[in-house]
Structure formats: C-alpha cells, structure tokens
C-alpha cells in the first residue's frame, strides 16, 4: 500500500506540472507495477492415483491433519465421527438429521461448517460439511463443497490436479505465513 501511495503522489505531482510525456510514462509504470504485484500465481496441488484407483491425501481441517479421499460424487465434505472428534468439533452437540447414502447404506448425518480446510496450498474457509455417526464410514470424503470452490480440477493420466484461483496482492502467502 505504501508503494501505491508513493506512486499516486508521484503521478499527482507529474499531473500538476502537466507534462504529457511524463504523465504517459507515469501511467505506464503504475499499470505495469500493479499487474506484476496484483496477482500471485494460483496455488495448485497434484495428487497421484492410489493402487486401488482412489485419490487419497492428507488435508488440514481447522489446523489438524486428516486423511481424505476425493469423492466427486459426494455433494459435501463428509467426515467420520472419529475425525470430527479428533479435530475438536462439538460432536456431542451435533444433530443427525440429514439423510445420506454411503457405501455401507443409508444413514443420517449432522450438518456443520468447517472453519478452514487446506489441501496443500489450497485453503478454503467456511466449508459446509457433514459428519456421520460413529462407525458409519471408514474414510473422510473431500466432496464438492470443497471442489466447487476451486478454479478447476481434473484427472490427467494418473494424477488429479486441483487448481485454486490466483491470489490478489499476495493474500495467500500472508495467510500461509500467519498459520
């Protein structure tokens, strides 16, 4: 911000003197600097396909590491009861009133919002999620409530590529450094 303020002041001084060439050069310099500094590269994560054909990873949920499997058929991030407890969610206060179909059959799940979910350099906040009752699932699912927030994702050969949006003004780096 200090750099922008200095550039604005310099541009204002040039405008005050009215030299058209200096005004044009100052405008070009400001535009070039803003383009270079406004967007940081988009974060991306590459996940190799597992032996059973799945794309498994370790995410950080509210700062706690948790194993997950990508599931594009899941409309939401779905956590096991055990993971929800391990990451400190208020499992005793959850209301299991959402019908879900799992590999094991029909069950109820509790709806909640995760403060923060990170997969490598991809960090999303306020992620809608579900928690299933104890023993209903063995694996946490990284579903569409996370994947829909990405710029793109897709499979190339035996790798799943997740691409976030470019970060404006380096916020991503500042967030990562703060956490």
**56 lies in the same domain as 114:** yes
| pLDDT score of 179 | 47
CATH, residue 161: 2.40.70.10
Percent of the chain with pLDDT over 90: 60
Q: Supply φ then ψ for residue 139, to 5 degrees.
A: -130, 140
Both 16 and 72 in one domain: the answer is no
Asked whether residue 126 falls in the same domain as residue 160, the answer is: yes
- pLDDT, tens only, 119-160: 999 999 999 999 999 999 999 999 999 999 999 999 998 999
**Torsion sign (Cα): 98, 99, 101, 106:** positive
* Claim to verify: residue 107 and residue 20 sit in the same structural domain: no
Domain range for 162 is 44-178
Task: Please count the structural domains in the chain.
Answer: 2
Name which of 155, 151, 175 is nearest 163 in CA terms.
151
- pTM reported for the whole predicted model: 0.71
Same domain, 109 and 28: no
Res. 178: pLDDT tops 60: no
Residue appearing with tokens 């916020």: 171
């Amino acid at each position: 911000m200090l750099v922008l303020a200095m550039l604005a002041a310099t541009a204002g001084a040039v405008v005050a003197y009215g030299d058209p060439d200096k005004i044009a050069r100052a405008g070009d310099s400001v535009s070039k600097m803003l383009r270079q500094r406004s967007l940081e590269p988009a974060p991306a994560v590459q996940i190799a396909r597992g032996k059973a054909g799945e794309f498994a990873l370790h995410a950080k949920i509210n700062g706690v590491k948790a194993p997950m499997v990508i599931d594009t058929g899941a409309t939401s991030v779905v956590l096991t009861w055990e993971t929800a407890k391990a990451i400190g969610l208020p499992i005793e206060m959850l209301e299991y009133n959402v019908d879900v179909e799992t590999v094991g059959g029909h069950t109820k799940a509790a709806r909640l919002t995760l403060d923060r979910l990170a997969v490598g350099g991809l960090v999303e906040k306020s992620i809608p999620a579900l928690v299933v009752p104890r023993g209903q699932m063995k694996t946490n699912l990284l579903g569409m409530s996370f994947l829909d927030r990405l710029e793109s994702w897709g499979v190339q050969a035996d790798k799943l590529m997740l691409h976030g949006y470019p970060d404006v003004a380096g916020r991503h780096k500042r967030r990562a450094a703060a956490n």
